[in-house]
Structure 1
Amino acid sequence: MDETSGRYCESFHHAVELLGRRWNGVIIRALLSGTDRFNGIRAAVPGLSDRMLSERLQQLECEGLLMRVCGDPAAAPRYVLTEKGQNLRPVIEAIYTWAATPVNHD
């Protein structure tokens, strides 16, 4: 939906699908909290397999949300959020706050 007219917006739909895809939100949240290595991300997200984490990191990189940084060849690469990825901070924090709010059944 377009913000002013209520019509469908393809960009919004794509963003919601991307963030709503299983594991993407929690991977981004782990990166926002400072976790930047593959094993650290996997440890921060219980139930996430190596294969799925690899796929999701590649997808987020293709979407321009993160960069894979290879420094020392002997060290594991780091995953760093781009400016576009960092701009998701208030969105992820808002979802986290919303999800933690108890449901009131009055």
Structure 2
Amino acid sequence: MSELPHPLPECPIARFLVVLDGPWATLIVRELLDGPKRFTALRTALPGISPKTLSARLQRFELTGLVTRTAYAEVPPRVEYQLTPAGQRLESVLASMAHWAENDLPQANSSTPTTV
């Protein structure tokens, strides 16, 4: 994958949603906020993600400048993924999302929202 499948939209929110599409995208970013990780470590941290989905999201993140991929000339080969400064700035976005969910969405086993 050398380019995005289509041009990014002009609307900033739509552009954000194209890049961070689906539930796995934000969870991958969450995991990379702790520092560089190998592909296998990401798969372990995200039970249920398929290798194909993880690979596609990481490639998209590389193309949009959110992640760098570093391949080390070792046997066996080692590849690490790390957030770029732009990717690291998503930390505040994820923190805002978590804050909103904690305050405005019901708990998993609750039918009533929590109060602020």
Q: Please tell me the TM-score bracket, short chain as reference.
A: 0.7 to 0.9
Matches within 5 A, 1:2-41: 10-34=11-35, 36-41=37-42
For structure 1, the residue ranges without an aligned partner over 5 or more in a row are 1-8
Aligned residues: 97
CA RMSD of superposed structures (Å): 1.9
Q: Helix, strand or coil: the match of 2:55?
A: helix
User: Which consecutive segments of 4 or more residues in structure 1 shift more than 4 A?
Assistant: none
Show the counterpart of 2:71.
Answer: 70
Deviation at 1:35, TM superposition (A): 5.2
Identity within the alignment, %:
34
For structure 2, the residue ranges without an aligned partner over 5 or more in a row are 1-9, 107-112
| Structure 1 length-normalised TM | 0.79
Q: How far apart, CA to CA, are the structure 2 residues paired with 1:67 and 1:92?
A: 20
Instruction: Give the letter aligned to residue 39 of structure 1.
Output: T
Cα gap change, 1:38 to 1:48, in 2 (>3 Å): same
Q: Helix, strand or coil: the match of 2:81?
A: strand
| Structure 2 length-normalised TM | 0.73
